[in-house]
């Protein structure tokens, strides 16, 4: 297996991740000598020392490390700096370079279904994915408000991008046209959780959940029952993953193959 390039996703927890399924399918399709695995990481600094020492070629970064990782990197792309979150690392001869593909992936999934300019968008959450989404939404001309269970984090994010912060009772009066959940609430194995009170699902015409496992979350089921158009987390997941693949390999990602691999895993077939 000489010359095999090793890639991985780091997070905590990480057992739920389908990134290995998606990226290994892409590597196989293009006949690349590469393998992708998952690393549960609690000590981020030590893990990145290991990445350098072992020559791991690239990383996907997920909760809770997207912001914490930045000080440990050698270089960070301008958009990732503006978002203050990194979800992709490329190891260039020992120099760890950080990027953010979440913003582009999320915006593409939304814009395939709805125009964003001038729309009232309520973003649930204040983590790395929320930062990427708010950054992209503001650039697209949307009117953004943030709601978060921890007010301090929500207020900090709202201030960083000069948007509104609302508590859950206030957010009903915002009358969002689009609602996006960026939290992990409703993700397997806790798929019975609802990311927002059902009262918030009265006004949105479009509801998106970035959770992709399960594909049809409790939030999306509740929104659909109230007549909203729903967008599951798969297209964002595939979109951001395709951009990662290109950053790592320099090749165009086989989108259809990646999507099919993830769908097959989710369906258990």
pLDDT tens string 136-181? 999 999 999 999 999 999 999 999 999 999 999 999 999 999 999 9
For residues 58 and 152, what is the distance between their CA atoms, to the nearest angstrom?
33
Q: Which CATH class is domain 103-232?
A: alpha beta
Specify the 3-state DSSP secondary structure of 94.
Answer: coil
| Beta carbons of 135 and 116 less than 8 angstroms apart | no
Specify the 3-state DSSP secondary structure of 32.
Answer: coil
For residues 59 and 172, what is the distance between their CA atoms, to the nearest angstrom?
39
For residues 127 and 187, what is the distance between their CA atoms, to the nearest angstrom?
15
pLDDT tens-place string over residues 75-120: 999 999 999 999 999 999 999 999 999 999 999 999 999 999 999 9
| Beta carbons of 241 and 99 less than 8 angstroms apart | no
Pairing of strands 58-61, 88-92: antiparallel
For residues 92 and 232, what is the distance between their CA atoms, to the nearest angstrom?
34
pLDDT(1) > 50: no
What pLDDT sits at residue 119? 98
* Enzyme catalytic residues: 66
What pLDDT sits at residue 269? 66
pLDDT(243) > 60: yes
pLDDT(129) > 60: yes
Sign of CA dihedral 129, 233, 208, 222: negative
103-232 matches 5-100+235-267 in CATH topology = yes
Query: What residues are paired with 180 via a beta bridge?
Result: 123, 208
Fold of domain 5-100+235-267: Rossmann fold (3.40.50)
Query: What residues are paired with 178 via a beta bridge?
Result: 121, 206
For residues 91 and 47, what is the distance between their CA atoms, to the nearest angstrom?
14
* Mean confidence (pLDDT) of the chain: 95
For residues 126 and 148, what is the distance between their CA atoms, to the nearest angstrom?
6
pLDDT(16) > 90: no
pLDDT(197) > 60: yes
Beta strands across the sheet bearing 120-124: 164-165, 143-147, 120-124, 178-181, 206-209, 229-231
| Beta carbons of 133 and 84 less than 8 angstroms apart | no
Segments making up each domain of the chain, as ranges: 5-100+235-267, 103-232
pLDDT(251) > 50: yes
């Amino acid at each position: 297996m000489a010359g095999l390039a090793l890639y991985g996703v780091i997070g905590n927890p990480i057992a739920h991740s389908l990134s290995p399924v998606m990226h290994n399918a892409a590597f196989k399709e293009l006949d690349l000598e590469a393998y992708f695995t998952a690393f549960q990481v609690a000590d981020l600094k030590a893990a990145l020392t290991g990445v350098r020492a072992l020559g791991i070629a690239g990383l996907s970064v997920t909760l809770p490390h997207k912001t914490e990782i930045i000080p440990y990197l050698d270089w960070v792309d301008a958009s990732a700096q503006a978002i203050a979150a990194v979800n992709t690392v490329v190891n260039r001869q020992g120099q760890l370079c950080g990027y953010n593909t979440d913003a582009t992936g999320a915006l593409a999934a939304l814009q395939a279904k709805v125009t964003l300019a001038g729309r009232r968008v309520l973003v649930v959450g204040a983590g790395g994915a929320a930062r990427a989404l708010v950054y992209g939404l503001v650039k697209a001309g949307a009117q953004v408000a943030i709601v978060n269970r921890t007010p301090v984090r929500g207020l900090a994010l709202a201030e960083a991008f000069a948007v509104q912060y609302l508590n859950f009772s206030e957010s009903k009066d915002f009358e969002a046209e689009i609602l996006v959940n960026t939290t992990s609430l409703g993700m397997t194995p806790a798929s019975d959780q609802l990311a927002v009170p059902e009262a918030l699902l009265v006004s949105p015409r479009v509801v998106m959940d970035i959770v992709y496992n399960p594909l049809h979350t409790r939030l999306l089921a509740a929104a659909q029952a109230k007549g909203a158009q729903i967008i599951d987390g798969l297209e964002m997941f595939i979109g951001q993953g395709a951009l990662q693949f290109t950053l790592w390999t320099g090749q165009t990602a086989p989108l259809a193959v990646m999507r099919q691999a993830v769908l097959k895993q989710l369906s258990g077939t």
